[in-house]
Structure 1
Amino acid sequence: MNERTFRVLEYDKIIEMLSGHTVSAPGYEMVQDLLPYREKDKVISALAETEEALKIMIKYGMSPLGAFPDIRSHLRRVEKRAMLGPEELLEIGHVLKTCSRLKEAFKSRDGLNEAGLTIIPGLVYQLKSHDGLMNEIFRCIEPDGRIADSASPELHDIRRNITRCQEKIKELLNSYIQSPQYQKFLQEPIVTIRNGRYVIPVKQEYRSNVPGLVHDQSVSGATLFIEPMAVVEANNKLKEWMLKEEQEIKRILSRLTEEVWKVREDISGSFEILSRLDFIFAKGKLGHSMKGVVPRIVDGGKVNIVNGRHPLIPEHQVVPISLNLGYDFNTLVITGPNTGGKTVTLKTVGLFVLMAQAGLCLPADYGTEIGIFQKVFADIGDEQSIEQNLSTFSSHMVNIVSIIDNVDRGSLVLLDELGAGTDPTEGAALAMAILEYLHNCGAKTVATTHYSQLKVFAMTKPGMENASMEFDVETLSPTFRLLIGIPGRSNAFQISKRLGLKEDIIEKAREFLTQEDIRFEDLISDLEYNRAKAREEREKAAKYLREIERERERLAEKESHLEAARQQILRKAREEARMILRQAKEEADQIIKELNRLSQVAAEKERNRSIEQYRMKLKQSLDRLDGELAKEASSSNKYHEPVKEVRLGETVYISSLGQKGQVLTLPDDNGEITVQVGIMKVAVKLSDIRRVDEGDDAATAVISAKKPSPRMTSVLPEIDLRGQTVDEALMNVDKYLDDAFLAGLKQVTIIHGKGTGALREAIHQYLRHHPHVNSFRLGKYGEGESGVTIVELK
């Protein structure tokens, strides 16, 4: 397979489409290097892994593998014992996290590890996620690449001292800014930083009035940035702490790098597997996007395409073709009008062979079969060369000569407009000789032509077959359908007549035809008529079959839904019964325990009184359980009809509260009434009122409302934890995150204050493992800075 074949069949565009489905740099590189295999076992293996990826895509609609960074350069640096930076360690952590998530996805029996998948689960099983190292990286390094305060106790103490020094320096400098004595000397009343030291901007002419060290000046020279002598010592102390911070950060990074070095081979191997999985899933995603199938690989050079669609033509424009080669015939001659789809058919056959041997899905229907070809040759398109002084005919012949010199039994040859560009008689003769040579060599050949001589040649030569691109004479347009076994008619007379050519001229033209030409055209006409009638009957039968199939599927689906509903009802009933029995047993056990304890009480009166209390408690519990069982039936049967008018003193049921009450007032202009519920008076909408059977109070007394908590719709976007202990704060954060998640909030703010940082660190440690948290960060300027944490929810 040469570069020219790849170019004319546009194989590079398929590779470009496949590259767009990769999620990593190494996966992209593997796609770029993909070439068709020539060994049958390699083709079958490549298609098997593609088929598994396609199954996952069809079932779940997405790939379980997300994007992951390229860490190959990081691993090379680790190999040389170089220290990694925070961003590099984070990327390694993300790769390990990808491994962990992928293993988890295939671990569950109900997940991706389904029957029939062996290759992809086998690769996933070999991944080593090293969860301990992954968690340590994410514990020590924040998502933005900053080393966390909790990375080490020493770093925590150092940063606390840095904060104290900074606050002391700002306090001293603020005394200059706010002092009436110095305000006239300042260019602006601000504190800034130059060369890592806190300074104030002083006007040039007042340099001597503010004793201190000059660290910088403005471009115009009008402003000097001076470090007052009063803060020099504090700045020096700050510098010392910052140097200690830098040294501690280096120590932490060195420790993490050392841990990576110890398992570098595992990480490297897992990264290669992830890259391979990216390549495999890219093939599956491409097949899913083009609604493709995995072709069956057969022995010998054979092609059987069932409703194949050229992958580079939009789905709403492409016309499927069905074609077979290498079964009953080895040479196929396709005739038809220009722009009728002959060239597209040639490219579809060639491209399908290349894609199948590269392990890719084909946009066709099930039943498509492809054999293994050692060589694929294509002479398609106008390759006229001005530089080499070659005409179109000469250019084609140069390529055909190369094909003939290299063709063998394992070759597929695609020839477009064979023999064109020269004298028709000589061109047709030359085309027949070339086709016969290729046929005798055992090559599989598909050729297109306009020469009628080749139609007769293909009909009379054993092992050859005619095909044509259908043409609608009524609309003077091609239908792009391929018809195997029927040579194409020229349709010249019919087209000329419809375009307005005089009838006597057309009749005169018929006189110049030989009797053999007329009989041949009549034969083709009869074949086309019979084919059209057969296709019409076939389409009608297929329509009836589809209708029957749809009806069968509808009935099967209905039966499935009924069975599922029945099972759900039974399951729900069992669960409710189990829960009721468990609650009753627990309460009975508790009461018995209390009764045993009370039996030992000396005082008879106290014992009898306690026994009576627990007896009543047991009765109330049983009554409540009975009420819960009767709630659904009572609610649906007795209070399902809303009322349009009420009477004063009438007993009604309030559906939103699940309680009964007496009407105190008639409806106002807003349709609201006042109802006495127990000791409370509530205003409710008339539409919320249901009629109650006055004679059935005893039965309806057990009704209780279990409405969803209104907290889900009134959750604030922030929570203030200042002044709380760590345990209290974590308990409140857990409850708050559940409420915020149920309320649909995407971002919330946790206010913990600055203080010693212990509360903030405990909250951050908790957030890293919370199932509702997608990411979190400290507040920015204007948001509260380090006193708050911004949380992104899933």
Structure 2
Amino acid sequence: MLQRLEFHKVIELLTECATFSLGREYCAELQPSTDYAEVLRRQEETAEAAEIYRKEPDVPLGGMRDTRGIIRKANIGGILEPAELLDVAGNLVAARRLKRFFSDRSHQYPIMGDLVKNLFINKELEEKISQAIDPSGAVADEASPELRRIRHRIRETEINIKSKMEGIIRSQEYQKFFQEPIITVRGDRYVVPVKQEYRGQFPGIIHDQSASGATLFIEPVAAVELNNELRKLYSDEEREVLRILTQLSASVKAFSEELLSDAKILGTIDFILAKGKLAHRMNASKPIFNKDGYINLRKCRHPLIKGHVVPIDIYLGRDFHVLVITGPNTGGKTVSLKTVGLTAAMAQAGLHIPCEPGSQVPVFHDIFVDIGDEQSIEQSLSTFSGHLKNIIHILAKVNESALVLLDELGAGTDPVEGAALAMAILEYLYQKKARTVATTHYSELKVFAFERQGVENASVEFDSKTLRPTYKLLIGQPGRSSAFEIALRLGLPEALVTRARSFLTSEEIQVADLVEELETNRRKAEEERRKAERLRRELDEMRRDYAAKLEALENRRKELVEKAREEAASIVRQARKEADELVKELRRYVQEKRAEQLAEAEEARNRLKELEDSKDEELMQEKAAAGEIPKGLKEGEPVFLPRFNQTGYVLTTPDENGQLYVQAGILKLAVHVSEVRRKQEKPAVYTAPTGTGKLVVGKAKEARTELDIRGKTVDEALPDLEKFLDDAYLAGLQQVQIIHGKGTGVLRKAVNSYLAKHKYVQEFRLGHYGEGGTGVTVIKLK
């Protein structure tokens, strides 16, 4: 059946897409499958291969060979020829490259990824063969040290022989003996051509003579020993080469199972990729399969017709199961029939079909075909008998999962009886629920298809103006033979055509007029449809144009907005940069001024210290003179400190050295009893201390143990903090607190960062529970 559809020609096209003999063999063996899951699996292979062919033009397919015979030869102990070993190495190289290529892309091509997982890679055997056999197929000198040595000796001996024989042919004594002064080889031995008449005068061994007998090829006696040595070296070379080939053949035998598996996998990969390549060449698509027996081929082309092909739309299996195609000869009825059958066979073989994407096909268990001339002189069968015999075979096996294709059903016999048989056959096929496509010229079948539910008319269009078929398939409309129109166009007298029309019955005329009216209406509808389609395309074009312009405007708007944002951001960045520079400048100015102030304060302190040291003794004398040194001081007793011009009270009684502690305001002072006076005593004349005493007393009066900077910015708080620490340090405070609050933590971080670098700060920490927690930083001064 597939032979009548020319499925073998599709297989030939597939075979041409394979790259080596085993892949071509697998292609040639391809047949449609009736197993639904198997068909889907094959289609997935082809889809993946088509994707690879589209995206991966550099798939490494070179070097693959069918090595099955070679491996079987090695497996039974045969010695492989160098060329056969090269084929084995070539397969190993191909397997290694393909495995690396698809292993990196296994997530994209899972089927190929699974195949290459099983490829056997043996780099050692590959390199061993490649090193021993050169690309020309000869055993290389590097195959073994012994072979290298032997061939080196052979070259040396050949040079010695030629040198000796050149000396002979250039000798004045022998020159007249030679036919030509050349050195040649006969039977692996170097000889010279000597004239027949001088054979007795030239010492040597005769190995051959010319066809005329005028020239003898003689091995000079002087070269016999060297030639014997050369012959021995040749024998040694053959033995070493044989040993090398035997060793390599044994290595191939050791991995015969793996290498045989590699060959089959490479053949399968080549076969699958060939299916993808054929799909690309045919511009074919993956069909959608269903289990409802529904065929819907969209813009389908016959895969074997070259050049411009008019695609057809054909469907059946839902509203009707039987399609009757009518129309003139050479209109494309048989091509449409073959297109359906060949497309179904290709789909079930796992090949993509030459249709638009979205085309649907079922999986048929049988495809029955009756196409062509079944006449057989040997079997005494007429055309009608041949067709009928084939149809009888089909009717005996047909079922609901079959596709039946019948060309010129009922032809070759009496038209009335033939039409009756055709209707009976179509009715039987409809009852069997087989999907059937039949072509015919009988008008009775057009009426049959029109009247029967589940049977539909179709026709191939014919242009009566040009007298040429358009090859378009029109489902739902019966075809016309157009015999009268064609006859008039070709020049048959109109009177004869009119007379011919008169022979038609009224029913036939009515049917013809009905068909013509349907054709006219169809053409008008087709014209209206084309106009509507044109308008729709124009509308779509306008819509796309509008959308494109709208998108361009939106893009322009976005660009302007983005540009404005960038300009605004640039302005903000510039302003921020200028502000940062200004702040840095201010900070530098403040730091410089602060450094100057600190330097001045330090200088004043040093001067005060010097003054204090110089006046210390004088002050002590003055203080001593200002009142009596108190005796019997008690803890808590109020006292006056002339040195600091401060009052306080005694914390501890004087020790044996006269030292005691006095609390003066917030200060706890260690002083000598001589510097203390009872409070009721009038202050001494010493009322206005100067120098260090005056500065310290001033700061002690103003000093605070805590600073509250909550609600201030960092820039506002840091100057206050700086002054606070200076005052506290000069006042002699050992510990102070900064109240910065909890908040976002920005002020706390700034304070801690500042304290970490301050020269008066010994250490600092966050407050404990009861001290204010993380809202307070406690500082210990140096």
Q: TM-score range by the shorter chain?
A: 0.5 to 0.7
In 2, the alpha carbon distance for the partners of 1:190 and 1:41 equals: 76
In the TM superposition, residue 392 of structure 1 has moved relative to its aligned partner by 1.9
In 1, the alpha carbon distance for the partners of 2:187 and 2:489 equals: 89
Report the counterpart of residue 413 of structure 2 in structure 1: 422
Cα distance change on mapping 1:469 and 1:422 into 2, 3 Å: same
In 2, the alpha carbon distance for the partners of 1:16 and 1:449 equals: 31
Report the counterpart of residue 265 of structure 1 in structure 2: 257
Q: 1:453 aligns with which of 425, 433, 444?
A: 444
C-alpha contact (below 8 Å) 1:23/1:67 kept by paired residues: no
Report the counterpart of residue 735 of structure 2 in structure 1: none
Report the counterpart of residue 86 of structure 2 in structure 1: 90
Aligned length: 550
- Structural mapping, 1:681-692, within 5 Å: none
1:29 is paired with a residue whose SS is: helix
Cα distance change on mapping 1:551 and 1:417 into 2, 3 Å: same
Cα distance change on mapping 1:434 and 1:230 into 2, 3 Å: same
Report the counterpart of residue 205 of structure 1 in structure 2: 197
Residue 366 of structure 1 aligns with an amino acid whose one-letter code is P
In 2, the alpha carbon distance for the partners of 1:549 and 1:209 equals: 104
Cα distance change on mapping 1:100 and 1:546 into 2, 3 Å: farther
Report the counterpart of residue 303 of structure 2 in structure 1: 311
Q: 1:158 aligns with which of 150, 153, 157?
A: 150
Q: 1:491 aligns with which of 482, 486, 489?
A: 482
Worse-matched range after superposition: 397-406 or 98-107: 98-107
Residue 206 of structure 2 aligns with an amino acid whose one-letter code is V
Work out whether 1:382 is the aligned partner of 2:373. yes
Work out whether 1:65 is the aligned partner of 2:71. no
Report the counterpart of residue 279 of structure 1 in structure 2: 271
Residue 268 of structure 2 aligns with an amino acid whose one-letter code is R
1:99 is paired with a residue whose SS is: helix
- Structural mapping, 1:204-353, within 5 Å: 204-316=196-308, 318-353=309-344
C-alpha contact (below 8 Å) 1:18/1:283 kept by paired residues: yes
In the TM superposition, residue 307 of structure 1 has moved relative to its aligned partner by 0.9
In 2, the alpha carbon distance for the partners of 1:63 and 1:414 equals: 41
- Structural mapping, 1:444-483, within 5 Å: 444-483=435-474
In 1, the alpha carbon distance for the partners of 2:241 and 2:458 equals: 75
In 2, the alpha carbon distance for the partners of 1:79 and 1:551 equals: 71
Cα distance change on mapping 1:224 and 1:541 into 2, 3 Å: farther
In 2, the alpha carbon distance for the partners of 1:341 and 1:399 equals: 23
Please list every run of 5 or more consecutive structure 1 residues that lacks an aligned counterpart in the other structure: 563-794
Report the counterpart of residue 433 of structure 1 in structure 2: 424
C-alpha contact (below 8 Å) 2:102/2:112 kept by paired residues: no
Work out whether 1:47 is the aligned partner of 2:43. yes
In 2, the alpha carbon distance for the partners of 1:62 and 1:365 equals: 28
Residue 187 of structure 1 aligns with an amino acid whose one-letter code is Q
* TM-score normalised to structure 2 length: 0.66
CA offsets per residue over residues 56-97 of structure 1, 9 Å max, x none? 222345764236332222111110122212111111111112
C-alpha contact (below 8 Å) 1:78/1:261 kept by paired residues: yes
Residue 484 of structure 1 aligns with an amino acid whose one-letter code is I
Work out whether 1:35 is the aligned partner of 2:24. no
1:385 is paired with a residue whose SS is: coil
CA offsets per residue over residues 685-727 of structure 1, 9 Å max, x none? xxxxxxxxxxxxxxxxxxxxxxxxxxxxxxxxxxxxxxxxxxx
In the TM superposition, residue 436 of structure 1 has moved relative to its aligned partner by 0.5
In 2, the alpha carbon distance for the partners of 1:169 and 1:490 equals: 92
In the TM superposition, residue 209 of structure 1 has moved relative to its aligned partner by 2.2
In 1, the alpha carbon distance for the partners of 2:260 and 2:423 equals: 58
Residue 467 of structure 2 aligns with an amino acid whose one-letter code is L
Report the counterpart of residue 659 of structure 1 in structure 2: none
Report the counterpart of residue 181 of structure 1 in structure 2: 173
Residue 250 of structure 1 aligns with an amino acid whose one-letter code is L
In 2, the alpha carbon distance for the partners of 1:242 and 1:544 equals: 88
- Structural mapping, 1:357-372, within 5 Å: 357-372=348-363
In the TM superposition, residue 500 of structure 1 has moved relative to its aligned partner by 5.3
In the TM superposition, residue 489 of structure 1 has moved relative to its aligned partner by 2.9
C-alpha contact (below 8 Å) 2:325/2:440 kept by paired residues: yes
C-alpha contact (below 8 Å) 1:11/1:351 kept by paired residues: yes
In 2, the alpha carbon distance for the partners of 1:177 and 1:542 equals: 95
Residue 416 of structure 2 aligns with an amino acid whose one-letter code is T
2:200 is paired with a residue whose SS is: helix
Work out whether 1:122 is the aligned partner of 2:97. no
In the TM superposition, residue 544 of structure 1 has moved relative to its aligned partner by 6.6
In the TM superposition, residue 538 of structure 1 has moved relative to its aligned partner by 4.1
Cα distance change on mapping 1:157 and 1:508 into 2, 3 Å: closer
Cα distance change on mapping 1:147 and 1:510 into 2, 3 Å: closer
2:427 is paired with a residue whose SS is: helix
In the TM superposition, residue 100 of structure 1 has moved relative to its aligned partner by 2.1
In 2, the alpha carbon distance for the partners of 1:377 and 1:142 equals: 55
In 1, the alpha carbon distance for the partners of 2:362 and 2:297 equals: 11
Work out whether 1:80 is the aligned partner of 2:76. yes
In the TM superposition, residue 468 of structure 1 has moved relative to its aligned partner by 0.7
Residue 38 of structure 1 aligns with an amino acid whose one-letter code is T
In 2, the alpha carbon distance for the partners of 1:353 and 1:142 equals: 50
In the TM superposition, residue 327 of structure 1 has moved relative to its aligned partner by 1.8
In the TM superposition, residue 226 of structure 1 has moved relative to its aligned partner by 2.0
1:438 is paired with a residue whose SS is: helix
Worse-matched range after superposition: 479-488 or 537-546: 537-546
In 1, the alpha carbon distance for the partners of 2:69 and 2:355 equals: 42
CA offsets per residue over residues 204-241 of structure 1, 9 Å max, x none? 22223222222222233222222222222222222232
Cα distance change on mapping 1:63 and 1:552 into 2, 3 Å: farther
In 2, the alpha carbon distance for the partners of 1:361 and 1:100 equals: 30
1:313 is paired with a residue whose SS is: coil
Report the counterpart of residue 389 of structure 2 in structure 1: 398
Please list every run of 5 or more consecutive structure 2 residues that lacks an aligned counterpart in the other structure: 556-782
In the TM superposition, residue 528 of structure 1 has moved relative to its aligned partner by 2.8
- Structural mapping, 1:753-768, within 5 Å: none
2:286 is paired with a residue whose SS is: coil
Rg larger for: 2
Residue 42 of structure 2 aligns with an amino acid whose one-letter code is A
Residue 330 of structure 2 aligns with an amino acid whose one-letter code is T
In the TM superposition, residue 495 of structure 1 has moved relative to its aligned partner by 3.8
C-alpha contact (below 8 Å) 1:330/1:443 kept by paired residues: yes
C-alpha contact (below 8 Å) 2:195/2:215 kept by paired residues: yes
Residue 91 of structure 2 aligns with an amino acid whose one-letter code is V
Work out whether 1:105 is the aligned partner of 2:98. no
Report the counterpart of residue 2 of structure 2 in structure 1: 6
Work out whether 1:23 is the aligned partner of 2:19. yes
Cα distance change on mapping 1:175 and 1:550 into 2, 3 Å: farther
1:181 is paired with a residue whose SS is: coil
1:128 is paired with a residue whose SS is: coil
C-alpha contact (below 8 Å) 2:458/2:478 kept by paired residues: yes
In 2, the alpha carbon distance for the partners of 1:67 and 1:331 equals: 51
In the TM superposition, residue 542 of structure 1 has moved relative to its aligned partner by 5.0
Residue 136 of structure 2 aligns with an amino acid whose one-letter code is D
2:325 is paired with a residue whose SS is: strand
2:323 is paired with a residue whose SS is: strand
Report the counterpart of residue 516 of structure 2 in structure 1: 525
Report the counterpart of residue 705 of structure 2 in structure 1: none
C-alpha contact (below 8 Å) 1:56/1:62 kept by paired residues: no
In the TM superposition, residue 499 of structure 1 has moved relative to its aligned partner by 4.7
Report the counterpart of residue 144 of structure 1 in structure 2: 136
In 2, the alpha carbon distance for the partners of 1:516 and 1:62 equals: 67
Residue 15 of structure 1 aligns with an amino acid whose one-letter code is I
- CA RMSD for the aligned pairs? 2.7
* TM-score normalised to structure 1 length: 0.65
Report the counterpart of residue 759 of structure 1 in structure 2: none
Residue 127 of structure 1 aligns with an amino acid whose one-letter code is L
CA offsets per residue over residues 390-418 of structure 1, 9 Å max, x none? 22222221111111112111111111111
